[in-house]
Amino acid sequence: MGLKIHIDGAARGNPGPAAAGVVIRDEQGRQILEAGYLLEPMTNNQAEYHALRLALQAARRWGEQHVRIFSDSELVVRQITGRYRVRNAGLRGIFEQVQKLLLGFDGWQITHVPREENTRADELANLALDAGDDVVEVQLGDVVLPRNEAKGSGRSAGGGAICIVAECTGDPPNGVCPAGCRAGQTFEFDDRVPAGLCLHAAQAMIGAVLSLRHSVAQGEQDIPPLTVRCSRQDCGAVFVIRSQGRSGGSEATD
């Protein structure tokens, strides 16, 4: 079962002063965390994502490996589950942070709920906005986040676009790959899936690509490559995915 998490984000002005509300309970319904976190000025959708980020960080501090998340933001739920693409440049950085955090859990589920079923998280976000500061009403154990973590904007450290390269290291059987992929081919990921990949290979790789992009954005060094196999059962093409750091320029990911 794991932890039950309710999240909500609020922005007065959209964009404007913003805050996140987080409610976490364990399997028995015991309150672990009820808090509102003051954020930097941003849009309502960005605040919703930061509420999810903060909730996942708190859950990891608690040590739980399974989480059930409830949000009244249909956009966030559908983007996290892959039904909607993230087209807004202002959401890409925080979306990648959340995907990296989700990869750290053994199991997770996110569900859209009506606003009336999310009132406590909404109340906590507005309490933080009214107070102009973080508001922690329930805290069990070491789950409260330092202010610098709560207020983080999700922007990438340093300049330059992040480059992730996937190399095909194993030939699929002749005629199986619909894109004609062969060993030795390389594919560069920026903010788009590169041409030349079939849907199955792209689906198998996207989690690893987002994870590596987040690691680079956080300034990590010597990031080990990840090996991924195409999800098409009769194909079996193998890809090694590596970070090549940043290219020149000053592009930010959020």
CB-based contacts of 225: which residues, under 8 Å, 6+ apart? Answer: 240, 241, 242, 243
pLDDT at 180 over 50: yes
Domain boundaries, the chain: 3-150, 162-246
pLDDT at 156: 36
What are 171's two structure tokens? 């030939």
Q: What does pLDDT average to over the chain?
A: 83
pLDDT band at residue 184 under the 50/70/90 scheme? confident
What CATH fold (topology level) applies to the domain 3-150? Nucleotidyltransferase; domain 5 (3.30.420)
Omega before 15 within 30 of 0, i.e. cis: yes
Q: Which residue has the higher pLDDT, 112 or 242?
A: 112
Q: Which residue has the higher pLDDT, 146 or 220?
A: 220
User: How does pLDDT run across 20-73, given as a tens digit for each residue?
Assistant: 999 999 988 889 999 999 999 999 999 999 999 999 999 988 887 899 999 999
Q: Which residue has the higher pLDDT, 244 or 126?
A: 126
CA distance 204 to 236: 11
User: How does pLDDT run across 110-157, given as a tens digit for each residue?
Assistant: 999 999 999 999 999 999 999 998 998 887 766 655 444 555 544 333
- Strand-pair category, 16-25 with 31-42: antiparallel
pLDDT at 89: 87
- What is the reported pTM? 0.61
